A = this chain, B = another copy of it.
Amino acid sequence: MLEIDPRTKIDAVLGKLEKALTDGDIDAAASLFQADCYWRDLVTFTWNIRTMEGPDHVRDMLAKQLAAIKPNHFHQDPAHPASESGEITEGWFEFETDVARGYGHIRLKHGLIWTLLTTMTELKGHEEPKGTRRPMGAEHGSDPSRKTWKEKREREAAELGITTQPYAVIIGGGQGGIALGARLRQLGVPTIIVEKNERPGDSWRKRYKSLCLHDPVWYDHLPYIPFPENWPVFAPKDKVGDWLEMYTKVMELNYWSSTTCTSAQYDENTKEWTVTVERDGKEIVLRPKQLVLATGMSGKANIPKFKGQDVFKGEQHHSSQHPGPDAYSNKKVVVVGSNNSAHDICAALWEAGADVTMVQRSSTHIVKSDSLMEIGLGDLYSERAVASGMTTRKADLIFASLPYRIMHEFQIPIYNAIREKDADFYKRLEKSGFMLDFGDDDSGLFMKYLRRGSGYYIDVGASDLVADGKIKLVSGVGILELTEDSILFEDGRELKADLIVYATGYGSMNGWAADLISQDVADKVGKCWGLGSATTKDPGPWEGEQRNMWKPTQQEALWFHGGNLHQSRHYSQYLSLQLKARKEGIPTPVYDLQKVHHLS
């Protein structure tokens, strides 16, 4: 029998898919999918971020969207040839809708579609001015009314938000707001980024001084300007801060630093926000059409309530307020919590000569940074991946092509391998009394991140200090109350403390909406982040995608943007295209708007 090559197999399915879709034959289209199929769409078919699971779900989506979307021109990308491994054939393709150009990834199993990823690349007629479309800069010819680039930039900065109104306002100028702002600028969407700190990058600079990125450089690039090849694997916070500051400048963002948003209301009639900000002490009212909260995916600081917090005479603060160890070198410090920040803060305090105790209240997932890099990310985001021709864009798309429903199945073997490789390390740690876990289903760090955004530490050294008893540990016992100078535990133990750091994490991002807009709107929107996996801190029902992130919410014209540098980079693309389409009056029929099952 003749072997059919992967390219031909993919061509055949894409051809049938295109015919079914252009014929409006939804049954024919659905019949091309496996029973256990996953179609993940990033705003091309659904104007939403949605994964259709199974042919019925595909059928439902197409029934509602197909007539408006008008997909066509499916063809494989000649630059990325199809390939085959075991029973899976995979390939890359370009396609169009009525209003956009898209890029996709497909995996076939037994000749039928197992996974399908469709993503929006650009809106027709609104392509970004880059590459062959880049601006000329110098305007050739002569013109007595000509303004220089600098004059135009200065005028825009002076007028936007004062005499002209931005189309979008982004609250929060960390990496999320900056990456989204850069994309919106390229798309010609007038935008103001509101940031409470003095300088772009201060959200990093102001954190505890030993902080470095926990994700490696290949995973962290911003859009448009990748880090140079001399950039550190794990960049120190101040270096990241400087990069964000220069990026904001050279990407020409309208960045209002030293500005605090005090309130925001949406007028359903005029379809306009009233956003009140205080800029350098002066109140300014902005009237954008769209409001994006990019105030940190971790949302507002969680500070647990204990009896006696008003009695304790030492210092108490949340980890987000912790200034670093310098002032505490001979002090007794208790850090409540056992995730990333808790470990980093404990290690820095120990290095500075403090007497440090970590209070672990529930089990924690620990993974050594080197093992995570090598086993967890190496194929997509590493020097090895770069050498093999992997680009950031391709890695992001492969990453995005794995359906959340089954992602844990791919993750479990990775963490089993890590557990085996680092068995001695884990044994030593457990011996110290530290409570370890690998997630409810042993799927490890990345699933914990997607489901709850917490519950882990990427070890860069602090775990050894715990195992060796240099960082003292109180584990598995509750805090009863605080006295004037100590913490009393439920088992009767007492721990003297000059400082208590609450490294106790953050609430859902809709907490910001409660503060800035109203509790009603926060409740209307509901919980942000998490997949509905019915695991710890991620209650069901199953959502299939992260709740409320980068996509329409129950509150018209309110959006949430955030996550790590990878997500800020990749998902800002889809959020920016959604906002641009709305600005241009392009129809954006949303399939299956986010439902609300939890308030926070």
Contact = CB atoms under 8 A, between A and B. Distances in A.
- Count this chain's copies in the assembly: 2
A464 B141 contact: yes
Given A225-B225, A464-B142, A148 B230 contact: no
B238 A148 contact: yes
Contact-residue size bin, chain A (C-beta under 8 Å from the other chain): 35 or more
Interface in A438-474: 460-462, 464-465, 470
26 contacts: A129-B230, A130-B228, A131-B229, A131-B383, A134-B217, A134-B229, A134-B232, A134-B233, A134-B383, A137-B212, A137-B239, A138-B233, A138-B460, A140-B370, A140-B461, A142-B350, A142-B351, A144-B351, A144-B353, A148-B209, A148-B210, A150-B209, A150-B238, A224-B228, A224-B229, A246-B249
Contacts of A129: 230
A137 B210 CA distance: 11
B230 A186 contact: yes
B134 A351 contact: no
Interface string A205-220: 0000110110001000
A347 interface: yes
A242 B250 contact: yes
Contacts of A245: 246, 249
A148 B470 CA distance: 21
Contact of A235 (B132, B137, B140, B186): B137
A436 to B, nearest CB: 19
Interface of A: 128-132, 134-138, 140-144, 146, 148-150, 153, 186, 209-210, 212-213, 217, 224-225, 228-236, 238-239, 242-243, 245-246, 249-250, 347, 350-353, 369-370, 383, 386, 460-462, 464-465, 470
A589 to B, nearest CB: 30
Given A150-B209, A245-B249, 17 more contacts: A132-B383, A134-B217, A134-B383, A137-B212, A137-B234, A140-B460, A142-B350, A142-B464, A144-B351, A148-B210, A148-B238, A150-B236, A153-B238, A225-B225, A228-B250, A239-B250, A243-B250
Nearest to A346: B142
Nearest to A461: B141
Contact of A210 (B146, B209, B231, B235): B146
B137 A213 contact: yes
Nearest to A132: B383
A222 to B, nearest CB: 10
Nearest to A324: B148
A251 to B, nearest CB: 8
Contact of A137 (B142, B186, B233, B461): B233
B229 A142 contact: no
A150 B204 CA distance: 12
Contacts of A140: 369-370, 460-461
Nearest to A142: B461
B234 A230 contact: no
Residue in A134, A143, A224, A245 with the greatest tally of chain B CB atoms within 10 Å? A134
Contacts of A250: 228, 239, 242-243, 246
A247 to B, nearest CB: 8
The 9 A-B residue pairs whose C-beta atoms are closest, nearest first, are A137-B232, A246-B246, A138-B212, A149-B236, A138-B234, A150-B238, A137-B234, A130-B229, A141-B461
Contacts of A462: 142
A349 to B, nearest CB: 11
A230 B127 CA distance: 12
A371 to B, nearest CB: 12
